[in-house]
Amino acid sequence: MLKKLAKNTKFVAKKPISIITNIKTPETAKLLFVYRIRGTVSVRDTIRETMRVLNLQYSHRATLLPNTKQTRGFLKKIKDFITYGALSKEAVKLLLEKRARILGDKLLTEEYLSKNTKYKTFDKLADALFKGELLYKNIPNIKNYFKLPPAKGGFGRKGVKKTYPIGGALGDRGVKIDEFIKRVV
């Protein structure tokens, strides 16, 4: 019947949308990676202010935030403009080595860490951040955000206006944020 109907009316059946289920950031995660994808043209002032508070003033900026109830509330409010998730210790180390900057737009180095913090290497600093012993913003003279390029290979087959579970780029990616970090670093 469907083939007959398709021949007569030029009906084209669409492929079913594959929905990825159980994509949630675990509550036990201590650290979240938040990346801003969309701009703020025609956006409510409350959302713009929330992004300013989280140091996400511009597109393609990212930050590391503690996984608290307050942070979750902020992320829920701006979920249509960002992607986020719980990252691994290796991803934290990769971000610190490649993209962390100190004041003066200088690259964060192990020499700087050994002089100004009690953490002498990127491994030790990444471990402290991952375990929640240290907040990223409490590192002396560090910029509270990462300037990152757009993702290599694009943001998803559905684009930047759909959520991650249905094939887009927005919202909670859970532990799959590591794959995204490798594409933007």
pLDDT digits (tens, 9 = 90+) for 147-168: 999 988 888 778 888 888 888 8
- pLDDT at residue 13 greater than cutoff 70: no
- What mean pLDDT do residues 140-152 have? 92
- What mean pLDDT do residues 16-45 have? 80
pLDDT, tens digit (0-9, with 9 covering 90-100), for 69-118 = 999 999 999 999 999 999 999 999 999 999 999 999 999 999 999 999 99
Query: What percent of the chain is modeled with pLDDT above 70?
Result: 88
d(CA 134, CA 119): 10
d(CA 78, CA 138): 24
H helix intervals, 39-170: 45-53, 69-77, 89-99, 110-116, 122-131
Q: Which residue has the higher pLDDT, 143 or 14?
A: 143
**What is the crossing angle of helices 177-184 and 89-99, to 10°?**
20
Q: Which CATH number describes the domain made up of 36-184?
A: 3.30.1390.20
Q: Where do the domains of the chain lie?
A: 36-184
Rg (CA), the chain: 20
- pLDDT at residue 46 greater than cutoff 90: yes
Please work out, in degrees rounded to the nearest 5, the angle formed at the alpha carbon of residue 87 by the alpha carbons of 24 and 97: 165
- pLDDT at residue 10 greater than cutoff 70: no
pLDDT, tens digit (0-9, with 9 covering 90-100), for 55-68 = 999 999 999 999 99
Q: Which residue has the higher pLDDT, 139 or 1?
A: 139
pLDDT at 8: 57
Q: Determine what percent of the chain falls in helix, strand and coil, rounding each to the nearest 5.
A: 40, 15, 45
Helix, strand or coil, per DSSP, at residue 110: helix
Query: What percent of the chain is modeled with pLDDT above 90?
Result: 65
pLDDT at 15: 57
**What is the crossing angle of helices 45-53 and 69-77, to 10°?**
140
- pLDDT at residue 169 greater than cutoff 60: yes
